[in-house]
Amino acid sequence: MAVKAILKMGDPRLFEISKPVTAFDTPQLHELIEDMQHTMAALNGAGLAAPQIGIGLQVAIFGVTRNPRYPDAEEVPYTVLINPKITPLDQEMEEEWEGCLSIPGMRGLVPRYKHLRYQGYDPYGKVIERSVGGFHARVVQHECDHVQGILYPMRIRDMRNFGFNEVLFPGQLAQEE
């Protein structure tokens, strides 16, 4: 399939709430997921949501093994998550630096729940339900925000903790967008 262009912050489609997927195991859904996989891999992303390539459906993919954008991140199993729902398991939150393919070259300190349960479906309509923490929980929240029309800067508490990689982290993140 194809590597798709990523919409950049400012494109109004990124702020729309996506529609739920109603038909599973279709050629169109499988093609969308394959395009998303190729796009995420080409850009060394940890995840990608359909709205980032201009498709207003509740489809997110994520997974991290060894990734130059996140060299110290724990592994996250590759997952296709459709029509996601997130439930915090407690109120404990932590702030960590995040980046986004739709906001290239920038990072922000974003508060996220440390522990959560996520639910949704795989491409065949099979239920997915996992309880996770750490980086896995952060990636899921980031991608699920995309299907709700939320970009990570909208969650930053203090805008002094948002900026360009080369200013915030001089000499680091050389592999960044």
Report, as residue numbers or ranges, the catalytic residues.
143
Nearest to 69 by CA among 94, 42, 95, 49: 42
Residues 78/66, Cβ–Cβ less than 8 Å: no
Read off the tokens for 5: 């262009």
Q: Are 150 and 90 in contact (CB under 8 A)?
A: no
What whole-number distance in Å separates Cα of residue 96 and Cα of residue 10?
A: 23
The β-bridge partners of 107 are 163
